[in-house]
Amino acid sequence: NAGVTQTPKFQVLKTGQSMTLQCAQDMNHEYMSWYRQDPGMGLRLIHYSVGAGITDQGEVPNGYNVSRSTTEDFPLRLLSAAPSQTSVYFCASSYDGSRKKLFFGSGTQLSVL
């Protein structure tokens, strides 16, 4: 049982480059979300989705784009990377919106130079 799988684990980008962080879950969870973790700031919600075709913004959505074409996958796109986007990114899913615990992926450490 894989749970929530994130790729890549590490990535270095140059300012202005674009990339996609991948997230997949095999638990048939309707709810999926992306967080960034920065020292001293906890986890901040970037975007979330309550099902295929439905996405919405979280606390810090600027500079990020998401789509949800299937229940399993929820990729996060950085359109034009900036040094301020250097962070650790976590994907998480849950069975029932915000009423059940989140299952987290292993994280992606992103550095933007």
**In what side-by-side order are the strands of the sheet with 76-78?**
4-7, 19-25, 76-78, 64-66
**Residue labelled with tokens 């049982």:** 1
* Helix residue ranges, H only, the chain: none
Segment 15 to 54, residues that bind another protein, using CB under 8 A: 31, 33, 35, 40-45, 48, 50
| Candidate residues 56, 69, 79, 84; the one interacting with another protein per rule CB under 8 A | 56
Span near another protein by CB under 8 A; candidates 20-28, 63-71, 76-84, 102-110:
102-110
Total length of the chain: 113
| Candidate residues 16, 26, 59, 80; the one interacting with another protein per rule CB under 8 A | 59
